[in-house]
Amino acid sequence: MEEKSKSIKGNHAPLIRWILPAIGAAFAIAALSWLYRDLDLERFGSAVLDAEPAWLPVLAGAILLEQLTRSWKWRQILFDVKPVSSGRLFGATLAGYGVAILIPLGVSPLVRSWLIARLEGLRWVSVLMTTAIERFLDGIVFALFAALVVTAGRIPDVEGDVRTGLAVAGGLNLLLFSVLLYVLFAGRSPLGREDAWVSRGIDWLAAKGGARLDGLRAAVREGIVWPRDRRRQVGAILASIAMKIVAATHFLWAGLALGVVLAPFDYLFLMVFAGFAMVLARFVRVPGGFVIGAGFALKLLGVPDEQALAMILFSHVFTIGLMVGLGLPFLWWSGIDIREARHAEAKADASP
C-alpha cells in the first residue's frame, strides 16, 4: 500500500513541478499580451529614457522605508520573546525577500525566521509564529484599506463592477485573517495541557520528526505572543497602517518620474487592486500577478500603456534590485551561505 502511495505521488510530481507552472506562465504571457496589445515600444522606450531621475532615489527610499517599518513592527511583536534590534530584523527581512525572489515559492517568512533564530539563539518555530502574527495583522489592515477604497475612493466604472469585487475580496480577507489570528491565540492555552487534542497532534508530529523537533509544542506556544506593553501593541498596529501608506506611494514616486500625477485615493486603489491580484495569482500559480494587476488598474485609471508599464518597471526593478542587492549581502555578512538559506525549512530546528 505504501509503495502504491509513493508511486501515485511520483506520477503526480511532474504535474505539480512542471505542468502547472507552465500553464500559469502561459496564462501570464497571454494576459500581458492582451493588456499591452496596443503598446508603442518607441514611446515606451522614450518614457523610460526621459524619466526624471531625481524621483527614482525617492522611490528606492520608499521601498526600503516600507521594509524598515515592517521590521520595526516585527520587533514589537517579537519583543516579549526576545528584544532584537530593528537593524538586524531589517537585514533578515531583506534577506528573506531576496531569497524569495530567487526561489519564488513564498519562502520569505521561513528564511527570515530561520535567520533570526540562528543569529539570536532562538527556536525557529517560535520566531516563525511571530512572523505569522505579523502577516495576519497585515492582512486585517489591508482589508480595512480595501474597505476605505470601496467606500470613499474613486473607482473606475467598468463592466464587471470593480467596486463590488473589491468589497467581496476585502470582506473575505478580513474574515480569513481575523479567524486565523483568533484560532492562533485561542489555541495557545490548550498547548499547555498534554491531553488537549492540539497538543497531542503537535506531539505526534514532533515524534515523527525525531530529535530535531524536540520541544516543538513549547516552541509553538512560546512564539504565539502579543506585546504586553500597550505602547508596543499600538505601535505594531500603527506600523502596519504606515506600511500600507508607504507602499501606496511607490506608484506616486514612479509616476512623478514620468510626469504622471493621480488623485490621492487612486494610489490606494492601485495598492489594493494590485495586492489582491498578486495574492490571487500566487494561489492559482500564475507568475507576475502584481505586474498584471497593477497594469490593469493603471489602465482603468486612464494612464497610457507606455507610462503605466514604465511605472511598473521602475517599481518592480527597484524592489528586486534592493531586496537581492542588500538582502543577500546580509546573509553573507551573517556568515550564512545562500545554499543554507535555500534549505531553511529543511534545516530549521525547533530546539535552541
Residue 289's pLDDT is 79
Which burial class, exposed, middle or buried, applies to 17 when counting CB atoms under 10 A from its CB (0-12, 13-18, 19+)?
A: exposed
> What are the grid coordinates assigned to 249, written together?
506611494
Residues 148, 153, 158, 162: what is their CA dihedral angle, to the nearest 10 degrees?
Answer: -10
Q: Residue 237 is part of which domain span?
A: 23-123+229-347
Rounded distance between C-alpha atoms, residue 255 and residue 83, angstroms: 39
- As a whole-number percent, the residues of the chain with pLDDT over 90 amount to 47
| Beta carbons of 258 and 307 less than 8 angstroms apart | yes
Residue 201 lies in a domain: no
Residue 70 lies in a domain: yes
Compute the residue count for the chain: 352
Residue 204 lies in a domain: no
| Beta carbons of 81 and 223 less than 8 angstroms apart | yes
pLDDT above 60 for 9 = no
Between 53 and 28, where is the model more confident? 53
C-beta atoms surrounding 190 within 10 Å = 14
Mean pLDDT, to the nearest integer, of 183-207? 85
Residue 153 lies in a domain: no
Residue 174 lies in a domain: no
Residue 291 lies in a domain: yes
pLDDT tens per residue, range 119-150: 899 999 999 999 999 999 999 999 999 999 88
Q: Per the structure, how many domains does the chain have?
A: 1
Residue 30 lies in a domain: yes
Mean pLDDT, to the nearest integer, of 24-53? 85
Mean pLDDT of the chain: 84
Mean pLDDT, to the nearest integer, of 45-49? 91
DSSP 254-298: HHHHTT----HHHHHHHHHHHHHHHHHHHHTT-S-HHHHHHHHHH
